Chains A and B, each alone.
Chain A
């Protein structure tokens, strides 16, 4: 009981200490600790349940078995992860280039906006599980179809958020720059792109959570290496534990990409200091 009170008081102190380094660390701990504890509890329950009910490993492997599978397949896994990351990086790079390019085209020309927007939306309504095999059929088992799948599932939020972000520039600031006789390019560089950055990052963060999954899906349909291939092989061999390993690694990679994007955002959007 006393302990709990102390914790509450501690909590209040952390609240105020947010400006200091120690405060930042404590705040981080406060964010990370609850989900971590929850996950730990769930994993423990899972382990015990599988043991008690004697569930077969191909149906639901115990966490300990998944960890063992992870350690066992580490040597092969690194190669697959590298392949997946390569596809993700190239595909996402392509999505960034195409996304920004399309956004600027849309921004420059209202006609292009009207022409392109419906097509962009339509591109997102096509089920990717139908498109991916077609791409593999069309472009073979090389890098290209997988890169295209990643680009296809990620470029849309980038385009939409960049377009909206560019529109979000403050009217008075635009007027000020125009009064200085600034041209389109100068207003873009000095005002509209920086003003758009927060929204662009929102789009990029949404996109990046789809990127690895897109790559895995494409590899699953047809490839010689990558996490998707690893999943397909494990399924065929009824190695459910390895499928769990792949799922775990996929989400870990996604979280890492997301986190690095957030770090980049804090660094680039330095003026939005809501974290003092």
Chain B
């Protein structure tokens, strides 16, 4: 069991001209094995929310629970993929992939063997010794994902995992993440500001308002699994899409 629950979390930053409210009373939940997306306009506090869940920032109010245990301000409980890939340029692909094991002083050799075995699955065959600077954007993103998977936490936070990629690479990686998730049985919480991406991947979608971020809509998706890209043209998908876009205020 690995349920993550965010309970009435607010966050305001002190600034020279008064408090800046980034999040206001945000509550959400991702149950065991669920794929949940958080979608919202730029600057509405999505990364802030993830930083709070990861224990990197203190909420001004509210708390975070994993399996009914409060973990507010505790780090190392969830695997986190930050918005940019954050690969260390001096470590090759394998060394980046096993970073969490290095930090946690685990068995790095075993982790490296494991990472090596997974290279093929992540489309990185033969690139184990390559430095990040020599990789394409899509490959770097996959290394960051591999690092997140090898973090070995049942809950993964993905902050716009495909944000910086071109549409084609993005579509490939979405498909590929779907496959990965169905094999691994993780609970995934993903930030995106792409409606199609949220609909394609998720069991449930939370829509946040512009700053300060509040939950404007929670939408459970009743779409068949396993999903492929074809689903984008289905009637149900389009209905959900209209719903989401309206909640985002992008159409009237």
Residues of A whose CB lies within 8 Å of any CB of B are 170, 172-173, 175-182, 186, 190-191, 194, 270-273
Residues of B whose CB lies within 8 Å of any CB of A are 51, 54-56, 75-76, 78, 80, 82-84, 86, 88-90, 99-100, 102-104, 131, 133, 151
Contact B82 A176 (CB under 8 A): yes
Give the residues in chain A near B75, CB-CB below 8 Å.
Answer: 178-181
Cβ 8 A contact of B86, one of A170, A181, A270, A273: A170
Contact B133 A271 (CB under 8 A): yes
- The dominant DSSP class at the B interface is loop
Bound state CA distance, A186 and B90, in angstroms?
15
Give the residues in chain B near A270, CB-CB below 8 Å.
Answer: 90
Contact B103 A271 (CB under 8 A): no
Contact A173 B86 (CB under 8 A): yes
Give the residues in chain A near B131, CB-CB below 8 Å.
Answer: 271, 273
Given known contacts A170-B86, A190-B103, what 17 new A-B pairs fall within 8 Å (CB)?
Answer: A172-B84, A172-B86, A176-B80, A176-B82, A176-B86, A178-B75, A179-B56, A179-B76, A179-B82, A180-B75, A180-B103, A181-B75, A181-B103, A181-B104, A191-B88, A194-B88, A273-B133
Bound state CA distance, A176 and B147, in angstroms?
11
Cβ 8 A contact of A190, one of B82, B89, B102: B102
Contact A172 B83 (CB under 8 A): yes
Bound state CA distance, A27 and B102, in angstroms?
41
Q: Check A271/B90 contact, CB under 8 A, given A180-B103, A180-B151.
A: yes
Contact A178 B88 (CB under 8 A): no
Most central of A179, A194, A272 by chain B CB within 10 Å: A179
Q: Would you list the 8 A-B pairs with minimal beta carbon distance, nearest first?
A: A181-B76, A180-B103, A172-B86, A179-B80, A181-B75, A179-B54, A176-B86, A271-B90
Q: Which residue of chain A has the shortest Cβ distance to B54 in the bound complex?
A: A179
Bound state CA distance, A172 and B89, in angstroms?
13
Most central of A170, A178, A180, A194 by chain B CB within 10 Å: A180
Q: Check A180/B100 contact, CB under 8 A, given A175-B56, A271-B90, A273-B133.
A: yes
- The dominant DSSP class at the A interface is helix
Contact A180 B104 (CB under 8 A): yes
Bound state CA distance, A57 and B46, in angstroms?
78
Give the residues in chain A near B103, CB-CB below 8 Å.
Answer: 177, 180-182, 186, 190
Bound state CA distance, A270 and B55, in angstroms?
34
Give the shortest distance, in Å, between B152 (CB) and chain A (any CB): 11
Give the residues in chain A near B56, CB-CB below 8 Å.
Answer: 175, 178-179
Give the residues in chain B near A186, CB-CB below 8 Å.
Answer: 103
Give the residues in chain A near B151, CB-CB below 8 Å.
Answer: 180
Most central of B54, B80, B88, B133 by chain A CB within 10 Å: B88
Bound state CA distance, A175 and B81, in angstroms?
10
Give the residues in chain A near B78, CB-CB below 8 Å.
Answer: 179
Give the residues in chain B near A175, CB-CB below 8 Å.
Answer: 51, 56, 82, 86
Supply 23 A–B pairs (Cβ within 8 Å), ascending by A.
A175-B82, A175-B86, A176-B86, A176-B99, A177-B99, A178-B75, A179-B54, A179-B55, A179-B56, A179-B76, A179-B78, A179-B80, A179-B82, A180-B75, A180-B76, A180-B99, A180-B100, A181-B103, A190-B88, A190-B99, A190-B102, A191-B88, A271-B131
Give the residues in chain B near A170, CB-CB below 8 Å.
Answer: 86
Give the shortest distance, in Å, between B58 (CB) and chain A (any CB): 13
Give the residues in chain A near B99, CB-CB below 8 Å.
Answer: 176-177, 180, 190
